Structure 1
Amino acid sequence: MARYRSIEEILAEEDDLGLLNVTLRPRAARTPERERDAQLVEKVNEFFERSGRVPNPEAEDHDEMRLGVIWKRLADNGPAEDLADVDRNSLLSGGPLALTAAPPPPDRDWREEPDEREIPASLDDIFDDDELDVSEALTTIRHVTPAEDRLVPDHKAEFYPCHDFDRFREMFERTQAALESGEREVRPINFNEEVRVDEGSLFIRKGLLTYVAEKAEMTARAGKRDHRLRIIFSNGMESDPLLSSFRKALADDPTARAIHRHGLGAMDPDWEADRIDLTGTVYVVRSKSKDPAIAAVSGILLKIGVTTQEVRRRIADARDDPTFLLAPVELVATYDLVNLSWRKVEGLLHRFFDAARPRDLWITDRFDRKVYPREWFYVLPEHVSRAVQAIRDGNLHELEYDPQSQTIRKKAGAQP
């Protein structure tokens, strides 16, 4: 390899690879601010070549309006020699093309107040506009109770005299004595607290001892589980709010208290000693729903329930209750119970007719959620009557319901 004694000897060699052929870029003739102006002029010239006019600062299109405002500020300064190389249409110099291509002014600026005659008077005026294309799904309301029905509700929780208060009087007296002696304790209820409410729960609300006597079958409202309660007060009145409403009333009452026993809580064998096995009424109802799938079988589709309330009050708000298929119901029959726990009787009846429970029965609530009621059965009123009589006689365990033949028969091996 050749050795070089100086840089001159290296540069004197032939440059076969062209390493020394360097082209220097000319120094920028504009400042960064002026370079941005040049880019603006370039954009305006491109806009002019597309549309035949300069951008309008009053345009309804936001991009054109923005470009027009910036361009107007630059053009007001007059011609600029250092931008002439990018102003190929002579727009800055006020050439004839720029003057003749200016758009006519709009009839009215979009920023101005609208004419009163153009302001719609109602939603119907908006949706009737031929230029407005709105999907029917956005304007058609489904699963919503009409306003006239909401103004006069069939049922709401009220205070009314308790018809069987004698069943609860002694329990209230024992509770009051236990509170005074310290055998029972109270706990404040925090605001927005979701209180646990079970049958037999005791509270203090508005200065009154408050007892949860009944917690009816589960329903679903607004996608959440809910129950209809029967609440007894120590002044001889009662009410039937929803569980969610009762919880809210407790949380909103600064004087509300929950009453507890001393001990191990739910593990204590005496924890549910306050629960009273109330005698209730078996009720049988038929749906008056207009849903074709339900109306077609309304003759044999019956709801079997048991309640300690007056039956008329229990079914009063049926059309707003998913448990009743969100429709009014017809009362078919009632059967009074004597010295029998309503909760146990309801469980016996539902298990007895379980084979006749429709597995595919569901409804859609107002939030388009599926609800599967569990208290409806494909039976006839006489089947329910015979089952209730068997409970009274104490031999329901010897019988079974055959959904194929729709008959109640003796179980195989049962004593005749």
Structure 2
Amino acid sequence: MADLSDDELLAELGVAIEQPKARTYTPREERIIAGFEDVVRFHDEHGRAPQHGEDRDIFERLYAVRLDRLRELDECLVLLTPLDTKGLLSTAEVEAAMPVENIDDDALLAELGIAVDPAADDIRVLRHVPSADERRAAEEIANREKCENFAAFKPLFEQVERDLETGARVTRPFVKDAGFLKADITNGQFFILGGQVAYVAEVGDPIRAPNGETDARLKVVYSNATESNLLLRSLQRALYKDDAGRRITEPEAGPLFSGTAGDGDLESGTIYVLRSKSDHPTIAEHRDLIHKIGVTGGSIEARIANAAKEATYLFAGVDVVASYTLFNINRAKLETLIHRVFAAAQVDLTIQLGSPVKPREWFLVPLSVINDVVDRIRDGSITSYIYDPQQAALVRGRTGHIQ
């Protein structure tokens, strides 16, 4: 008798062979398994379970919350326990975390500002699957380690923070059509990437990339005390793909004020010049020369809607005689600078209505001189001038810088 296999022998004996059925999963189960596999991959790469904390990478925080949720749900434990070769679901010590009872992955992503495709579950459609180039770029950016000499860089980050608060520096969107080239990434520049301020501490010698373009190895230090050695093109690519990615300007870069918007400029407000309709004797006598000069971030019309009821407007209606749009400027600092230029021409008025009121921001100055001030704000030379009431003109005299 010819040698028979076990299955053939059983068949000769009339014993039915039941083939095991392949397990099928619902779309929800597929998502749960895929989410757990992300956590397992994190464990394989870092040798530990993902942890909570504001200093952690955004995806590690996502995985940590996801793992907490999987540990809590019985249906997930039943489904995933056979796949849990790392013991992640049975870990006894779980770090304190934000409440996750009612948070799923989509809700968490929304909290973190990541858009979620609301389309129906369909396992035939790949979702949130990055391309090979995207994965490579993410790996290059995410490969960070502790910056051992961060103390040397900390004062730089603190100064940048102060500069941003005072308006000495501004942030600009990092977009492809803004004329910002790869060669423009140079030593000493600051960017915002992944919610962290990034400082280009070193730029290595030029190297030739596989596609023939010039590249360079960078040392980038981040405000969370980490650093990475990534390629210049990788940093550029990451900034392009980060919707919140921005570059931080140099303190001396560009004029204080621009009358027209450039690429990437953000509208900040308006300088407005008003004339009062008040019948106060001083106002009536010099109506064409007395102007209120201010800066607003909203509508001028809304700002002056109740002028007749407010002391700052002399309890009277006003006419808007000039306005200038602002871009990328600290409004409060600019207003202070303008008032300092015209300090010698401030009108000394007392309005008696119940109790005496001394309104500010009213100046005895021709409109032509105000236009001249705006021009000098445009070219950045205003900090060298003050207004001389005797000459009714701007004269050189240090007014102080915006700080």
For normalisation by structure 2, the TM-score amounts to: 0.33
Q: Which structure has the larger Rg over C-alpha atoms?
A: 1
